[in-house]
Structure formats: structure tokens, C-alpha cells
Amino acid sequence: MTLVSMPQTESRLRNRREGRARTSAGRLNGTSVQSAAVAGVAVLGAFLRLWQLGSVGFNSDEAVYAGQAASIAGNDTLMSYFPIFRAHPLLFQATLSLFYRQGVSDAGGRVLAAAFGVATLFVVLLLGRELYGFWTGLVAMLFLAVMPYHVIVTRQVLLDGPMVLFATLALYFLVRFCNEARDAWLLMSALFLGLAALTKETSVVLLVSVYAFFALSTRLRLRMRTGLLGVLAMLLLLAVFPMSIALSHATSTGGSYLVYQLLRPANHSLTFYLSKVPSALGLLLVALALAGPMLVLARWAGSASRRALRRPGPAAAGITIRGLTWREGLLLCWAAGPILVFESLPVKGFQYLLPIAPVVAVLAAHAVLRPPISSVRFTVREGLRLPLRIAVIVVVALTMALPTWGAIRPSSSPAFLAGAGGLPGGREAGRWIDANLPKNAVLMTIGPSLSNLVEFYGHREALALSVSPNPLNRNPAYVAIDNPDLRIRRGQFHYLVWDTYSASRSPQFSDRLLQYANKYHGVAVHTETRPVRSRDGHVVQRPIITIYEVQP
């Protein structure tokens, strides 16, 4: 037995306590730094989504969804123009209706949509942390916070932002299932995927992604019982929407919309997504996200060619490339499903591919913090690696933040891409109509986009000239104008509304409406203008909406 004096014992105990205190202080400081970084990114993301949120009025889709929410809230004025059951499920509209019980406002609806967008930032943080660690999750959160694609869509009363929140939660719990093999996580993933589909039914395409992942995976196996349980949970949740339609005796509505979506003509070319979405995501971000998989594929291709030639080729001097894991496989499958499905469909919307945004952010963050090129002969010195990575993160974030800042500032020109912003002048013209035109006035517009705004803000019936008389080629919510010339002559239309947004999309119907205005002695009673800079550098007022009063 060794005897230790009392002073020595006290000294050792004191040193141990001090060591534990230093360790706890270090952990606390690290946690504080992480919490401050997360809070800073969240504030930045919230600022970009809330800055001057009400500077421009609704676009057509926003008016429809907000009108549905108002109808659910019991607004009798808007209920006659916006029936509760239209094209999509009602989870977001029902949530918004809780806020609309105190009054309908476009800014209020957008604040709720922005809140879903900010919440998605935290889910991406959890997703990146579960896959690759905290710092990857934080960088992915930063990338998504400033990404033009996600910011622009979540600043609008659209279904895609809330849908992406639920879809990303489904992906997060699917990752938990792959890590821990607990059936409860797969069930949670299925439930959140069901909530995504209840927000917007197009999210069911992510089932293709999940199936492809498990079908292609060689190490992760999904038991039949577990998979069927997940599908059953999702189907039970989805049954809420058709049951609500059946109880409201609006079963023909869903069928009409389904036929319309399947048979309607293409609205964009095959290159639409390739030309619009990468720049909205961020070209440098997309390049980083694809860097790892492309390098691995190049390595596989090189190995296959060397085996075919039956001669071993020397490895690339000084470079080692990591292979793909199930993590990258899951992320790539999750993104591939929506891309392949929506590219093959004739109807394409700017915001349809938003579910791939969190995936791109995580892959890019992983490429920066743990590059696929793991070692290079001429390596960067250890002390310079962290500053170099920080510099790359800052550059990538700036290449997205600057376009985002330009996109959220009030624009002097209309947005000609559906889902990419509000419609300048629509709110102002609608409010002028509400204040100045007779209650029984009926208006004719070029297209249904402005008709929705006239009905939402102006509370007057409006029909669109461009709506097809063929039921298979038109949205079931819209009514075609039979023989518009005769109906004007009989005094059934009192005002014609021309707008530059619809004129750019349907120039032939724009010309027809202006011909009717000229034929029936149309007088411009109100014009909305926006300042634009001419070629000689002068600022001129450009008419964007003109209301003509016609005489039968």
C-alpha cells in the first residue's frame, strides 16, 4: 500500500477538477460558437425572405391560393370567386386560413410562406449534420439561406415552399433510418412525405427517388414488411384529401383537373429547366455539388477502359479520389426523381424542382469541407486549408447572395416567368377597380392571370379571352368566352383590361382585345405605369396595365 499525504491528495483532486472545468468550458465555448453561427445564418435567411415582402402584389397563383384560404376562413366576398376545392390539396391553404380569420392581406400570407422557408434552413442543418457532421450542415444551411431559387419561391404564397419543408424532413428521417435501421424512422419519413403530398400532390414523385435508392443500393436492404408499412402510413394520410372532396360533393373537380393536367399542351420547351434552374440554384453551387460524383464516374470509366485494354494504367499522379457512399447515392436519387419526372412531362413550372435545392446545398457543402480529391501531390499547407475553405464558402455564398438581393428588390419591369415573382401593377389596378367601378361590372382580360388578380383585389367578375372553349384544353376553374364580339355588343362586358405580362405570353389575344377596344370606342379610364430606362438613357413611364371602358 502506498501512502499519500493529505496535501498531495488535495492537489491532485484540485487539478482534476480544474481539468474537468477546462474541458467543460471548451465544450461550452464550442457550443456557443455553433449556436451563434446557426443564429446568424437563420437571421440572414429570414432577412432575405422578409425584406420588402409586400412591395409587389400577388401573381396569379398567389391570388388563387390566398383566395382559397380566405374562402376556408369564411370570407363571403372572395368565396364567390375562389372556391375551396380547385387543383391542389389544402394543407397550406387551411393553415393560412387561421391567420385570415382576422382579415385578408397579401403580406400576411407571404410571411407564413417565408416562415416555412426559414424552417427549412434548420432542417437542412439537421440533414447535413446527420450525413456528414455539424459544419457541413451549417454550410449547407448558409447556401440554402442565400440561394436565389429557394428565396424567390418562399417569398410567395405558393405551395412549393411548405412542400419542400415536409419533403426535406422526410429525407432527414430516411437518413436516420439508413443510419440506425429503426423502423420508426422510416415511418416518420413516410408520414412527412404524406404531409408534403397533402401540401402539393406533385411531391409524390419523390417515391420514385426512394424506390430507386433502395433498388440500386447494394448494402442497405429494405424489408418488405417495413416498406409496406411506410406506404400504408402515407396512403392513410393522403386519404384525407379525397375524403374531404367526397364529403363536399366536389368529386368531379378532382377528375377534371387530372384530365386537364395530363392532356394540356406543353407550356415550355425541353430545355426550360436546363436554362432556368441551374442559374437560380447558383452555377458555382451546382458545379461543386456535381464535382464529387463526376470525379468518381471518371475514375470508374478510366478503370473500365484500362481493364478493357488489359493493361494496368498508372494512377493519376498524386491524386486519390474517394468513392461514392450510400449517402451520396441517396442524395443523388432524391434529386434525380423530380428532375426526370418533370422533364418528361409536358407542363413545366419554374418552382417544380425546388425539392432538389436542399440536396444541392448539402452536396456542395460536403464538397467544400471534405473534397472528393482527398490528396494531391502538391498539397496546400495545413495552416492554409481552413482559410482556403472559408474563402471558397464565402465566394460561393456571394455568387448566390448578390443575384438574390437583386431579385428581391422592387422591380420596375414585370416578371414574365410564372412562379418567379409577383405581378407589378396588378394589386394597384385591382384596388382601383374595387374603388371606382360599379359592383355589377364584368371585365374581359387577355389571360386568366390578370383575371385572378382583378377578382382578388377588385372583387369584380373577370373572364379571360385566351381561355380555350375546348374543356380538355383549359383549366376547369376558368370559363371560356363564347363569341366575345357579340357579348361586348350586347353590353355583357363593360371594361377590357390589357396587361403587358399576358400580352407577352399571348400576343394574338392581346391584339384581339385591343381590336375590340378600338371597335367599341374604348376609352382608357385607368393606366398603371412603371418607370423604365430607354435606350438613350432617359427614364420613361411604361404602361403595364390599361383599363378600357367600352360602349356596346
pLDDT of residue 403: 94
213 and 299 belong to one structural domain: yes
First to last CA, the chain: 116
Q: Which of 357, 375, 408 is the last residue of a domain?
A: 408
Model confidence band, residue 255 (pLDDT cutoffs 50, 70, 90) = low
Whether 317 has a pLDDT exceeding 60, the answer reads no
171 and 72 belong to one structural domain: yes
pLDDT of residue 155: 95
Model confidence band, residue 414 (pLDDT cutoffs 50, 70, 90) = very low
Q: Which of 354, 379, 408 is the last residue of a domain?
A: 408
Model confidence band, residue 410 (pLDDT cutoffs 50, 70, 90) = low
100 and 233 belong to one structural domain: yes
Decide: 203 and 197 in contact? Cβ < 8 Å: yes
Model confidence band, residue 413 (pLDDT cutoffs 50, 70, 90) = very low
Whether 259 has a pLDDT exceeding 70, the answer reads no
239 and 370 belong to one structural domain: yes
pLDDT of residue 421: 66
Query: Which of 311-315, 322-326, 366-370 has the lowest average pLDDT?
Result: 311-315
Q: Which domain range does residue 533 map to?
A: 426-549
505 and 396 belong to one structural domain: no
Mean pLDDT estimate for the chain:
84
Q: What is the pLDDT of residues 37-52, one digit of tens each?
A: 999 999 999 999 999 8
pLDDT of residue 227: 82
Q: If you average pLDDT over each of 75-79, 360-364, 417-421, which comes out highest? A: 360-364
87 and 234 belong to one structural domain: yes
Whether 152 has a pLDDT exceeding 90, the answer reads yes
Rounded average pLDDT over 132-150: 96
Within a domain: residue 194? Answer: yes
Q: What is the pLDDT of residues 501-514, one digit of tens each?
A: 899 889 999 999 99
pLDDT of residue 412: 43
503 and 400 belong to one structural domain: no
Whether 539 has a pLDDT exceeding 50, the answer reads yes
Within a domain: residue 419? Answer: no
Q: If you average pLDDT over each of 133-142, 321-330, 540-549, which comes out highest? A: 133-142
> Cell numbers at residue 454, please?
382583378
- Long-range (24+ apart) CB contacts under 8 A made by 99-102 are 100/66, 100/69, 100/70, 100/72, 100/73, 100/75, 101/73, 101/74
393 and 436 belong to one structural domain: no
pLDDT of residue 401: 96
Q: How far is CA 92 from the centre of its chain?
A: 14
CA separation, residue 260 to residues 60, 204, 263, 478, 511 (Å): 18, 18, 5, 12, 27
332 and 472 belong to one structural domain: no
- Of residues 319 and 236, the one with the higher pLDDT is 236
Give me the helices (H) in 314-467, please: 326-344, 357-369, 382-408, 426-436, 448-453
Q: What is the pLDDT of residues 393-407, one digit of tens each?
A: 999 999 999 999 988
524: helix, strand or coil: strand
What is the DSSP-derived secondary structure letter of residue 323? P
393 and 514 belong to one structural domain: no
Beta bridge partners of 542: 530
Within a domain: residue 414? Answer: no
Model confidence band, residue 124 (pLDDT cutoffs 50, 70, 90) = very high
219 and 157 belong to one structural domain: yes
Number of domains in the chain: 2
Q: What residue type is 269 in one-letter code?
A: S
206 and 307 belong to one structural domain: yes
Q: What residue type is 480 in one-letter code?
A: A
pLDDT of residue 231: 86
Within a domain: residue 85? Answer: yes
Whether 30 has a pLDDT exceeding 50, the answer reads yes
Rounded average pLDDT over 296-310: 58
Decide: 128 and 136 in contact? Cβ < 8 Å: yes
Whether 368 has a pLDDT exceeding 60, the answer reads yes
Q: What is the value of pTM for the model shown? A: 0.86
Whether 319 has a pLDDT exceeding 50, the answer reads no
pLDDT of residue 315: 44
Q: What is the pLDDT of residues 193-210, one digit of tens each?
A: 999 999 998 899 999 999
pLDDT of residue 3: 42
Whether 360 has a pLDDT exceeding 90, the answer reads yes
Model confidence band, residue 218 (pLDDT cutoffs 50, 70, 90) = confident
Q: What is the pLDDT of residues 164-175, one digit of tens each?
A: 999 999 999 999
What is the DSSP-derived secondary structure letter of residue 133? -
Rounded average pLDDT over 125-153: 96
Within a domain: residue 420? Answer: no
Q: Is 521 left (phi over 0), alpha (psi -120 to 50) or beta?
A: left
Q: Which of 408, 435, 457 is the last residue of a domain?
A: 408
pLDDT of residue 452: 94
Rounded distance, CA 293 to CA 133, Å? 19
Whether 252 has a pLDDT exceeding 80, the answer reads no
Reference 64, options 547, 435, 354, 450; nearest CA is 450
Rounded average pLDDT over 283-299: 81
Within a domain: residue 17? Answer: no
pLDDT of residue 264: 66
Whether 492 has a pLDDT exceeding 90, the answer reads yes
- Of residues 517 and 85, the one with the higher pLDDT is 517
Within a domain: residue 211? Answer: yes
pLDDT of residue 6: 46
Reference 455, options 174, 95, 79; nearest CA is 79
* Percent of the chain residues past pLDDT 90, beyond the cut: 55
pLDDT of residue 246: 67
Within a domain: residue 528? Answer: yes
Model confidence band, residue 5 (pLDDT cutoffs 50, 70, 90) = very low
Strands 523-533 and 539-549: antiparallel
Query: Which of 7-16, 49-58, 253-262 has the lowest average pLDDT?
Result: 7-16
- Of residues 323 and 536, the one with the higher pLDDT is 536
- Of residues 246 and 270, the one with the higher pLDDT is 270
pLDDT of residue 516: 95
